[in-house]
Amino acid sequence: MKRLSWSEAGAAERRAALRRPALSEVPERAARVAAIMDCVRREGDAAVLRWTEELDGVKPESLEVSREDIDRAWSGLDAALRAVMTVAAERISKFHELQKPLEIRLDFGDGTVLRRKPVALSSVGLYAPAGSAPLPSTVLMTAIPAAIAGCPLKSLAAPPGPDGKIASAILAAARLCGIDRVFRMGGAQAIAAMAYGTETVPKADKIFGPGNAWVAEAKRLAAQDPGGAAADMPAGPSEVMVVVDAESDPEFAAADLLSQAEHGADSQAVLVALDAGAAGAVDEAVLRQIEGLPRRKIAERALSKSLCVLVDDEDAALEVIEAYAPEHLLLQSSGARALSERVRSAGSVFVGPYSPEAAGDYCAGTNHVLPTYGAARSFSGLGVESFMRWISFQESTPAGLEAIADPTEVLASCEGLEGHRRAVAIRRASSPVRKARR
């Protein structure tokens, strides 16, 4: 693990050390994704099936999974897995229920009343990627807040396996969360189908969920197209930052770094140490633990780009945190709770030695769909509000309009918008309030 002394490094060296590797931009992939998107937009279901056969080597009998198949997946799921999935769903639901926003109302008392009302998105598209194993947790993390928000139509896309079917765990999670429709499709063609709609797939207002570079590019293109669909957040490799001191358990910190590194070779792992001895102990623990890791080669590739930042105190640790804005921030130093209250730029914060990222990924109750690649400075992790939009309302009586008419006309004239000024003046001329004053 490369080391950097924060106090000894200059500003340029600090920036260079914390700079994430450039996202690989492959012109051929970008062009291919654009072609797939255009093809699906023009040809609908036929294009989705054709690209699924060409790219995934499988041609499903139909795009949509029947309700009977979804119910069968739930009833046939291993009882132990069904039980823990239910526990996770209950905890996620309980935390996200508290996030439901309330309408706000302000009565100025002069005849004008203002309101701001939360409204659920009408149609949302959820994506569950398929890697070396199914990810039912991603279904829970996207579908549960969508249901709590009150979205009328929730569609899920998941890539079919070699047998043309979606993994039973994914279908079971969809059943548990009350997803309305499930489709056998993945990659850019799935994003295109949800963004534009097809004969079978309903058009989504917004698309949620992680995916590979093809999916990320498709979501980006869909969000840029006025006829497409919005996307949840910018996507990049998953990442973790762990803060330790002399009191921290190095085995815990090492396990957390490895749990992130095994995600993929492009995963980012950063250790912030308030004590050089603690940094060394974590290094040694990583070497011990990686020996028995099934995804060792992947983790080793990720850790080859990892960084250890040595800091003098928690103020310096906070500087590193804010400069990096990590997706996952694990605070395992003795002052973890106090430090957590000062953090402003992180996707999700795990406070104390017994708050591993893995728990947040599955069962703690917080959401694991989080901003990466520094986007935590300006984006939030997924929540109920992600599936909603706000509408403002204003209602004025003649007296209410009269109370704000003069400043409104002056500001309109200042900006050279005579039509705006007249829209107020014409109403004032016929207002019963004006007539009563005459």
Q: What are phi and psi of 120, to 5 degrees?
A: -70, 145
Structural contact between residues 44 and 31, judged by C-beta atoms closer than 8 angstroms: no
Beta bridge partners, 127, equal 157
Nearest to 89 by CA among 149, 167, 142: 142
- Pair of tokens at residue 345: 């730029």
Neighbouring residues of 255: CB distance < 8 A, sequence distance ≥ 6? 285, 289, 356
- Pair of tokens at residue 162: 């070699």
Neighbours of 195 (CB within 10 A): 28
- Whether 8 is catalytic: no
Terminal CA-CA length for the chain:
82
Task: Please identify which of the residues 217, 328, 357, 368 carries the catalytic annotation.
Answer: 328
- Whether 247 is catalytic: no
Q: What are phi and psi of 115, to 5 degrees?
A: -140, 150
Residues in the chain: 438
DSSP E strand boundaries for 121-187: 123-127, 153-158, 181-184
Q: Distance between CA 176 and CA 267 in Å, rounded?
A: 30
Task: Please identify which of the residues 217, 239, 314, 327 carries the catalytic annotation.
Answer: 327
77 CB-side CA count, 13 A = 24
Q: Distance between CA 195 and CA 191 in Å, rounded?
A: 6
Q: What are phi and psi of 112, to 5 degrees?
A: -120, 130
Sheet architecture: strand order including 112-120:
104-107, 112-120, 388-396
Active-site residue set? 327-328
